[in-house]
Amino acid sequence: MKTDCIFCKIKKGEIKSEILYSDQYCFVIKDISPRAQVHLLVIPNKHIEELVNMDKGDQVIIGEMFASAQRLATDTGISDSGYRLIINQGEHSGQMVDHLHLHVIGGEQLGGMV
């Protein structure tokens, strides 16, 4: 937990956001500013800023995040039509929240990569 982190605050209930799913590895919320009809964020419970900051043993968290993303895609009905998974890393990517998270974006035709 990091006291000034938006996602840690959401997890603790200090910032209001509906938690759509949670397990021992991660939790899922809707992005506050959705870029497509479906835009979810899969967020590890552990405060990891970027992939480079992962501890040994954290790889299991990444695997579970992708498993959650795949389940969410099925549950929201976008699995067959396709979707995009994005993890922004650092300044050039435009990462705004310094707590690792996986964007799950779909439900409509998406534009080019960048």
Alpha carbon separation from 16 to 11, 13, 40 (Å, rounded) = 9, 6, 16
- Length in residues, the chain: 114
CA distance 91 to 41: 19
Q: Applying CB under 6 A, which of residues 15, 19, 51, 110 lies at the interface with ligand 5GP?
A: 15
Q: Which is nearer to Zn ion, 29 or 38 (CB)?
A: 29
Residue 26: strand pairing partners:
44
Q: Is 95 in the site for ligand 5GP (CB under 6 A)?
A: yes
The binding track of 35-74 with respect to ligand 5GP, each residue x by CB under 6 A or -, is ------x---------------------------------
Active site residues: 101
